[in-house]
Amino acid sequence: MDKPLVIVESPTKVKTIKKYLGNDFNVTSTMGHIKDLPKKEIGIDINNGFCPQYIIITGKNKIIQELKKAAGNAQEIFLAPDPDREGEAIAWHTSEILSKKNRSFYRVMFHELTKNAILNAMNTPEPLNKNKYEAQQARRILDRLVGYQISPLLWRKVKRGLSAGRVQSVAVRIIVDRERLIQAFESEEYWTITAAMTAEEPPPFDAKLSKKNGQKIHIPNKESSDQILKDLENEKFIVHDIKSKTSKRNPSPPFITSTLQQDAIKKLRFSAKKTMMIAQQLYEGIDINGEPVGLITYMRTDSTRIANEAAEEAIQFVKERFNPSFSIEKPRIFKNKKKVQDAHEAIRPTSAYYVPDEIKKHLSPEQYALYRLIWQRFVASQMHHALIDTVSISIAAKEYLFQASGSIVQFQGFMAVYTTEEDDEVNDKNKIKLPALKKGETIECQKLSPKQHFTQPPPRFTEASLVKELEENGIGRPSTYATIISTIQEKNYVEKLKGYFHPTEIGCIVNDLLRDNFPDIMDVEFTAKMEDSLDRIETAQMNIQEILTAFYDSFKQQLDDAGQSMLSMKGIGLMTEIVCPDCKKEKLHIKYGKNGLFLACNGYPDCSFSCNYVRDEKGNVMAVEPETPQVTEKTCDKCGKPLLVKNGKYGTFLACSGYPDCKFTMSLNELKKPVSTGVSCPNEKCDGEILEKTTRRGKTFYGCSMYPKCEYALWYKPISKQCPECQAPFIIEKITKKKGKFETCVNKDCKYELSIDEATMQN
């Protein structure tokens, strides 16, 4: 009988697991998913309980045969793909393919690739988790129902290639909504007044005007500011109140997927996608002194829970490496919001004793940077809280009150290892030094400095703030954020400019069409509730059929209505308030044509005016006046009228001025004169020579001078030199990335080849 077989998801884990399991088990990999829904059709039997119709992924038949061969006659198969919903799906599909009489399947979870974790998982196998698998299936089915039925509608109404996604479309909406808030924002003027103060004891300090007659002050303009300065002339400034307190500052919990992505984006300038890729490498194992070592726990998690033994190890590490005052006596516990999250731990190092600087030589610079971040946050989570001394001073002058405050870190605690943005703000305040003052003390105002400001619109999203927004609104799951962000950029719905997301014009139009026709799909709260429903399927609190049926009943009605009522950008288009400059009667509409979006008169075909457009900073559509075509001296070959220089999809070209009666066009490349290569045409029935020519698109090729009588042509430059191997009349010049520039025979059966450098030396 064959050995029990362990099947993992990634081949990079095989070596690590084999090392710890020894010769008692065979270990192999599925190389990711082996089954999926078909790409060219929806793959969901809507009328038969939304049954998914899985097929073998193209190219995976060989892997399946290898899995069957590895399983042999083994009675026990341990399925160990990643410990998440996708991994559960891989486990189920693998068990279906390898199912055999008297064969048992077990699910094992490797939350970290360490010896203890692997052996413990193998000693405590579980049955396959149907609820988790159904949660994964429900997501795939919902995404298919939306994407594969709305996308074709967008192809008909706008253009081919567009897509809609149950979650990606909501992410685009969030970015579009923010852009429109920015466009609608009206900036308002306001002023601040800062007093430069000195007391009997140094140092000098600044205080800001904060209140008048006990109420928060608002200074709307220069006149109001000047009046306050006048009121304060020759006034005494007296210390009104002094408040001091010492506050505790606790460390942040260890990373979950979303917070790791946010911190890596901010501190390391990694994208969410890059962060997850490097984290996967750290989880699957790094070669240290010839042995693969998994450095972090599983990186797709919503949980802040950590194993008690891991926390105790971190506490012991702190006691050994730091002053005793930095350590705590018992593990600090971080609570989760949802029970479904508690299946995994937070992202942490597999051992606190894998100190980043001590294993740095085994890591790439990027692996080191991310691992160091994970290690620091985890170790800090099990360190003593920081103590912050804060002093706040209010200074009265007439009915006005000025405020000055400063913070001093009395004890660093965890901040000696890791700080968040909020912690850094406290450290910045540490730079504000205040003198020792007494209540009622008179201090000197050296100068009052007024300053004009303008309110700012809400900021556009960065990748980090978008991840945070998605998480806070319950859109998607941390494991999907990187994919969402990549997809909406690849589809050209948004673009990143100087680190900030801007919606594209097509992104805004698709967003508006979907919001008008699919209000539920585009609703943030609805999408968040659907994510919660998927979690409830996993915890057996909800039934998959109930959720899918309830969703589809409403969605199908909206889909049918949209097929009839969704505005067509190819037809009537989107109306603007711009009156056509030609007919002066109809309004211009935004439409989509073969060259993209443009403005066209709604009076077509009676009025054929069209032009490009742009939007101003407020989002208003502005027509771009068409440029007057340049008249050339060349005349049309068909009707004799002058040719005009015009711009099209493929660049500049010549067109007849008699359009639309005459539709003759000519590429500017056709005006270029062919250049002789000095090589005779090899066609025995032709007396022509090979000329260097240019296609209508501007690409160089080599063709016979007797065209169209002789159609001989080739893409490579001919050289007037007989082949030394087969005596062909000429050779050709090629360039490839691997070989560089070289000459070879025009005869495909001849193997003559010589680099250009060698050919030059021979000559």
Question: Which domains are present in the chain?
Answer: 5-128 (3.40.50.140), 138-184+463-565 (1.10.460.10), 189-250+386-454 (2.70.20.10), 257-381 (1.10.290.10), 574-624 (no CATH), 630-670 (no CATH), 716-763 (no CATH)
328 phi, psi to nearest 5 deg: -115, 165
Band of pLDDT at residue 757, cut at 50, 70 and 90: low
Instruction: Check residue 180 and give its pLDDT.
Output: 96
Is the confidence at residue 760, as pLDDT, over 50?
no
DSSP, collapsed to helix, strand or coil, labels residue 364 as coil
Cα-based distances in Å from 646 to 404, 649, 654: 65, 10, 6
Please give the Cα distance from 46 to 393 (Å, whole number). Answer: 68
Taking only the tens place, the pLDDT of each residue in 355-401 is 999 999 999 999 999 999 999 999 999 999 999 988 999 999 999 99
Taking only the tens place, the pLDDT of each residue in 611-631 is 999 999 999 999 987 777 788
Please give the Cα distance from 673 to 693 (Å, whole number). Answer: 8
Instruction: Check residue 563 and give its pLDDT.
Output: 92
Instruction: Check residue 340 and give its pLDDT.
Output: 46
Cα-based distances in Å from 388 to 4, 26, 415, 430, 513: 58, 56, 11, 10, 52
Closest by Cα among 755, 739, 735, 651 to 698: 651
What SS3 string covers 453-505? EECCCCCCCCHHHHHHHHHHCCCCCHHHHHHHHHHHHHCCCEEEECCEEEECH
* Contact (Cβ atoms closer than 8 angstroms) between residue 166 and residue 552: no
Is the confidence at residue 761, as pLDDT, over 80?
no
Average pLDDT on 561-572 reads 93
**Helix or strand (DSSP H, E) at 377:** helix 365-381
Instruction: Check residue 342 and give its pLDDT.
Output: 54
- Region for 161 from its dihedrals, namely left if φ exceeds 0, alpha if ψ lies in -120 to 50, beta otherwise: left
Instruction: Check residue 756 and give its pLDDT.
Output: 60
Burial degree of 500 (CB within 10 A; 0-12, 13-18, 19+):
middle
693 phi, psi to nearest 5 deg: -125, 175
DSSP, collapsed to helix, strand or coil, labels residue 141 as helix
> How many angstroms separate the first and last alpha carbons of the chain?
70
Cα-based distances in Å from 147 to 43, 152, 555, 659: 12, 9, 12, 42
| 442-454/237-249 β-pairing | antiparallel
Please give the Cα distance from 649 to 428 (Å, whole number). Answer: 54
Is the confidence at residue 217, as pLDDT, over 60?
yes
Average pLDDT on 307-322 reads 93
Is the confidence at residue 547, as pLDDT, over 80?
yes
- pTM (two decimals): 0.78
Is the confidence at residue 538, as pLDDT, over 60?
yes
Is the confidence at residue 721, as pLDDT, over 90?
no
CA angle 655, 656, 659 (to 5 degrees): 105
Sorted by sequence, the CB contacts under 8 Å of residue 229 that are 6+ apart come out as 193, 448, 450
Band of pLDDT at residue 551, cut at 50, 70 and 90: very high
Is 726 or 655 the better-scoring residue by pLDDT?
655
Sorted by sequence, the CB contacts under 8 Å of residue 227 that are 6+ apart come out as none
Note the Cα 690 to chain centre separation in Å: 51
The one catalytic residue in 54, 133, 148, 298 is: 298
Is the confidence at residue 652, as pLDDT, over 90?
no
Please give the Cα distance from 604 to 610 (Å, whole number). Answer: 10
Q: State what percent of residues in the chain have pLDDT above 90.
A: 67
Q: State what percent of residues in the chain have pLDDT above 70.
A: 95
Instruction: Check residue 432 and give its pLDDT.
Output: 61
Note the Cα 221 to chain centre separation in Å: 42
Please give the Cα distance from 164 to 492 (Å, whole number). Answer: 12
Band of pLDDT at residue 726, cut at 50, 70 and 90: confident
Catalytic residue list contains 298: yes
What pairs with residue 401 in β-bridges? 211, 396
Please give the Cα distance from 245 to 34 (Å, whole number). Answer: 61
How many CB atoms lie under 10 A from the CB of residue 756?
15
Is the confidence at residue 706, as pLDDT, over 90?
no
What pairs with residue 239 in β-bridges? 395
Average pLDDT on 548-556 reads 94
* Contact (Cβ atoms closer than 8 angstroms) between residue 351 and residue 295: no
Average pLDDT on 86-90 reads 93
* Contact (Cβ atoms closer than 8 angstroms) between residue 162 and residue 510: yes
* Contact (Cβ atoms closer than 8 angstroms) between residue 208 and residue 404: yes
Sorted by sequence, the CB contacts under 8 Å of residue 182 that are 6+ apart come out as 457, 458, 460
Taking only the tens place, the pLDDT of each residue in 574-624 is 999 999 999 999 999 999 988 889 999 999 989 989 999 999 999 999 998
Average pLDDT on 454-478 reads 93
Instruction: Check residue 670 and give its pLDDT.
Output: 62
**Type of residue numbered 373:** L
Band of pLDDT at residue 759, cut at 50, 70 and 90: very low
477 phi, psi to nearest 5 deg: -135, 155
DSSP, collapsed to helix, strand or coil, labels residue 407 as strand
Closest by Cα among 269, 693, 727, 752 to 499: 269
Instruction: Check residue 762 and give its pLDDT.
Output: 42
Which of 448-457, 485-494, 657-666 comes out lowest in average pLDDT? Answer: 657-666
* The pair of three-digit structure tokens given for residue 104, joined into one six-digit string: 């048992």
Instruction: Check residue 445 and give its pLDDT.
Output: 95
Instruction: Check residue 289 and give its pLDDT.
Output: 84
Strands (E), 220-263: 237-249
Closest by Cα among 722, 685, 724, 683 to 703: 683
Taking only the tens place, the pLDDT of each residue in 15-53 is 889 989 989 999 999 999 999 999 889 999 999 999 999
